[in-house]
Every structure is written in structure tokens, then in C-alpha cells.
Amino acid sequence: MRPAPPIRLGISSCLLGQKVRYDGTDRRDRFITGTLGKYFEFVPVCPEVAIGLGVPRPPIRLVGHPNAPHAVGVENPALDVTNKLAAYGRRQARALHDVSGYILKSRSPSCGVESTKVFSKGGRVRRGRGVYAAAFMAARPLLPVEEESRLGDVRRCDNFLERVFAWRRWQALRARGVTPSRLAAFHAAHELSLRAHGKAHYRALGRVAARADGRNTRLVAQDYIQGFMRVLMRPATRARHAGVLTHVMNHLRDRLGSRERAALRAAIRSYRNGRQSLATPVRLLQRHLRRHPDPWLVRQVYLQPGTHEFMLRYKA
């Protein structure tokens, strides 16, 4: 069997150690290069270099309203590269059609997602989005995007990775061709994952998927994935994860002995209280599923993620 192709992520070049910043330095991130680099293939992009600003180059900053700032020179405000950065963002949104996520440099006037300083009249400083990032994300609103600075937050990092792996599964489905039955199977496989973000989401998205009848599948699939990715945008809490795990344990109750149930309850409680990772109760459930196969649970991505997803997410 041919190995699955690596999952590709777009990334700001400086985060990989490339010396492309305005002053000729880099912002190499050890977590990205040392940990994520083992599991993903990076596609580096520096928009400021790509539009011809060079290295070193005059620094730029954002000015105006945070919703539509201009990228101009710090020392020479007549240097305005707003249109060039925005146009390049739109081109890259098409060129990077196969990436499953994007990690952007925080606080950058081109790449910042929500942390870049925007200087307004009167000296007021607010936070906004870099020009390249804004154009790219407007063209690819469903693609998982995150700033490297927020990956240091365990919940936000896990949420980004969950969305990356989920989007990759959707890309694989789309490559095969979305049919009503395949859409229903995708939805069913993510039941527990959706429950971890709120019980009502699974039922609501199920009603969307059920509208597919072969003639309108493409439009229904678009509605579905928009709702699906929107649900995943909000990080799941330990309490919600614990609720999902307890739901699974209760489903298996008749096949578990009293000691097994007690061990599972203890593992779930320990996870909920922050003393253990999600891997502990999930591994226990996986062990029970090997002994007591269940047709519903063995198809759940939540309990049977790929090796890379388990290594990155469940040990957090």
C-alpha cells in the first residue's frame, strides 16, 4: 500500500529559521521546527520578500482603521505596499490549494492574524490583521489558520491541530468525490468529535447532511463543511471531553466489569481535573474496544485518530 502523502501546512518563512525579516534576522520557533516538523511538510512563504521588498528592507507598519489598514513604510509613509500584499494573498490562496492549515507570524504587518498593531490618527494603537493574512483568509475562510504565538496555549494549539486533521480528512473525501452516502459517513465518524464542542452540533449538522440527494450534493456539502468547521473553531473544554468519554463508557457499561468501569471513571475524573492527558482515558477505551468491538465506536475519529494526530493532540 502506498503511504499517505504528508499533510502540508503553509507557514511564515521566518518561523522556520529563514533570515527574511526586514532586518535580516529570523524568528525560528523550536516547537514548530522541532515538534510539528516531524509530522507536517511546511510550505514557507514570506509575502514581503515575494512582492520584492528584499532583505534587508525598510520596515513597514499598519496605519488607519483596523478593519482596512494600509501597510506603509515606518520611515517613509509614501511607501505603500497594501495593494501588492493583498494581491499576493489572493494569489497564494489559489496556489496553496492543497495545504491543510497555515501558521502565520504574529504581530507582523503582513502576516499577523489578530495581534498586529494598527496606528490610527491621534496616536491611538489598536490590534488588527496583517494585509497578506487578511486577503488570504478572506479567500480561504474555512482553512485552519493560527499565529505561532498562540500555539504555546495548549487548548488553542490542540484546537488548531484538530481543525487541521479534520480539514485533511475533508480534502481526502473531496478528492474521492462527495456523495450523499460518503457525506453521511463523514458526519457519523465525527459524532464524538462534534459532541466535544456541544451536543446540539451533531444533530444540527446531521440535518444538513440529510438534505443531500445526489442532485444538490455539492451545495449541501459546502453548507455542511462551513458549519462543521465553524463548530470546530471554538476549543473544546476538559469538561466537554469528560462528558464525551463518560458517554462512551456508559455505552460500553454492559461489557465492562466493575473494576474496568472504576478505572475508567478514575481516568476520566483525573483528566477532567487536569492531572492527566486525554491519552490516558482514550487508551483505556481503545483497549476495551479491542476486547469488545463496537461497530459505532470503532468508526469514531475521536477514539481512532491517525497515529500522528494521536501523538500530537492526545498527549497535550
Q: Where are the domains of the chain?
A: 7-152, 154-232, 238-313
Distance between CA atoms of residues 183 and 199, nearest Å: 20
Distance between CA atoms of residues 171 and 39, nearest Å: 18
Q: What's the pLDDT score for residue 315? A: 73
Q: What's the pLDDT score for residue 121? A: 84
Q: What's the pLDDT score for residue 115? A: 94
- The x, y and z cell numbers of residue 203, run together, are 444533530
pTM > 0.75: yes
- The x, y and z cell numbers of residue 249, run together, are 463508557
Q: What is the DSSP letter of 80?
A: B
How far is residue 120 from each of residues 70, 76, 77, 133, measured CA to CA in Å? 10, 16, 13, 20
Comparing CA positions, the residue from 5, 100, 98, 105 lying closest to residue 45 is: 105
Strands (E), the chain: 7-12, 40-45, 60-63, 70-73, 102-104, 116-119, 125-128, 145-147
Q: What is the dihedral of CA 288, 294, 298, 299, to 10 degrees?
A: -160
Strands 145-147 and 102-104 come out as parallel
pLDDT in tens, the chain (316 residues): 566 789 999 999 999 999 999 999 999 999 999 999 999 999 999 999 999 999 999 999 999 999 999 999 999 999 999 999 999 999 999 999 999 999 999 999 999 999 999 999 888 999 999 999 999 999 999 999 999 999 999 999 999 999 999 999 999 999 999 999 999 999 999 999 999 999 899 999 999 999 999 899 999 999 999 999 999 999 999 999 999 999 999 999 999 999 999 999 999 999 999 999 999 999 999 999 999 999 999 999 999 999 999 999 987 5
Residues 176 and 182: beta-carbon distance below 8 Å: yes
Q: How many residues does this entry show for the chain?
A: 316
Q: What's the pLDDT score for residue 214? A: 85
Comparing CA positions, the residue from 116, 71, 107 lying closest to residue 89 is: 71
Burial class (CB in 10 A: 0-12, 13-18, 19+), 312: buried
* 217-232 helix and 180-189 helix, angle to the nearest 10 degrees: 10
Q: What is the DSSP letter of 100?
A: S
Q: What's the pLDDT score for residue 152? A: 94
**In 3-state terms, what secondary structure has residue 166?**
helix
| CA 96-51-34 angle, 5° bins | 55
Name residue 234's beta-bridge partners. none
Asked if omega into 293 is within 30° of 0 (cis), the reply is: no
Q: Which residue has the cell 497564494?
A: 92
Comparing CA positions, the residue from 143, 76, 136 lying closest to residue 108 is: 136
Q: What is the DSSP letter of 216?
A: S
